[in-house]
């Protein structure tokens, strides 16, 4: 997705592509800001965590804007996003207590609206939101990222980047989303659907997504306030 993200930045620049609406705040990420966040995170993965091109990662951050960033980071660096047995898992502090593997395999990502790092992280766990700030916002891929690389691996098989993009387009068509439309996203679903709506459609197909991360949202009000064409309900 690296090339597609660079094109998105050139074409859309300061225009918002990912917006997060929650009970504690609202954050809007332009194409430029989204790319900068992914670039810093990509440098952290490759230079900080020293992940290689065959590494697998898992992202468990719900409908937070950080989910879109870390999923986008994995796609942009050419890593494989998996459901089971990843080399590294990205999640929030609340998941630390039930983590049963080595703590250095879990990267804690803050749910703060502005991405401010959690102050107290149990020993051995990686404070991702703190560490990522030490890396630059320009990223150059360290290996060739081909369209046929495995972008996602799930129980039923693997999807290349090309297949994932095709699946995203199919989901857009199934939900009657026209190119460039803005949509809200509420609820949870399978991994491929999550990646498609949170990342692929905004970056590749010109959409803008509003991630609704509220316990009891007034969807009609959000649709009006955010000027959305529709709200996609998952789950």
Half-sphere exposure of 222 (CA within 13 A, CB side): 24
Provide the pLDDT for residue 154.
92
Provide the pLDDT for residue 155.
84
Provide the pLDDT for residue 145.
87
Q: In the block, which residue shows the tokens 């991630």?
A: 211
The first and second tokens of residue 25, run together, are: 């705040």
- The CATH number given to whatever domain includes residue 92 is 3.40.50.12780
The first and second tokens of residue 91, run together, are: 């999640």
| Domain range for 116 | 2-233
Is 59 in a helix, a strand, or coil?
strand
Provide the pLDDT for residue 60.
96
Provide the pLDDT for residue 228.
97
Q: In the block, which residue shows the tokens 């989901």?
A: 171
Considering its fold, how many domains does the chain have in total? 1
Provide the pLDDT for residue 31.
98
Q: What are the C-alpha distances in Å from 103 to residues 36, 88, 96, 198?
A: 27, 10, 8, 27
Provide the pLDDT for residue 235.
84
Provide the pLDDT for residue 143.
86
pLDDT tens for each residue of the chain, 235 residues long: 999 999 999 999 999 999 999 999 999 999 999 999 999 999 999 999 999 988 999 999 999 999 999 999 999 999 999 999 999 999 999 999 999 999 999 999 999 999 999 988 999 999 999 999 999 999 998 888 888 999 999 987 899 999 999 999 999 999 999 989 999 999 999 999 999 999 999 999 999 999 999 999 999 999 999 999 999 999 8
Q: Across the beta sheet with 80-82, what order do the strands follow?
A: 126-127, 106-108, 88-91, 56-60, 80-82, 150-154, 157-160
The first and second tokens of residue 173, run together, are: 């068509």
């Amino acid at each position: 997705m690296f090339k597609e993200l660079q094109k998105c930045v050139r074409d859309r620049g300061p225009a918002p592509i990912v917006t997060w609406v929650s009970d504690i705040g609202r954050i809007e990420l332009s194409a430029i800001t989204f790319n900068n966040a992914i670039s810093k995170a990509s440098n952290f993965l490759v230079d900080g965590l020293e992940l290689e091109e065959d590494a697998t990662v898992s992202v468990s951050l719900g409908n937070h804007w950080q989910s879109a960033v870390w999923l986008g980071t994995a796609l942009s660096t050419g890593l494989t996003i998996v459901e089971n047995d990843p080399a590294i898992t990205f999640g929030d502090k609340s998941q630390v207590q039930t983590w049963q593997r080595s703590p250095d395999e879990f990267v804690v990502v803050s749910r703060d609206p502005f991405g401010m790092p959690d102050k107290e992280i149990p020993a051995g766990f990686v404070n991702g939101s703190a560490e990522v700030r030490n890396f630059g916002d320009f990223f150059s891929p360290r290996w060739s990222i081909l369209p046929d690389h495995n972008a996602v691996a799930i129980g039923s098989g693997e999807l290349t980047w090309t297949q994932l993009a095709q699946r995203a387009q199919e989901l857009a068509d199934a939900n009657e989303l026209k190119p460039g439309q803005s949509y809200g996203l509420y609820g949870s679903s399978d991994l491929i659907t999550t990646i498609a709506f949170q990342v692929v459609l905004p970056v590749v197909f010109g959409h803008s997504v509003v991630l609704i991360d509220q316990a009891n949202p007034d969807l009609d009000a959000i649709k009006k306030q955010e000027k959305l064409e529709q709200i996609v309900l998952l789950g």
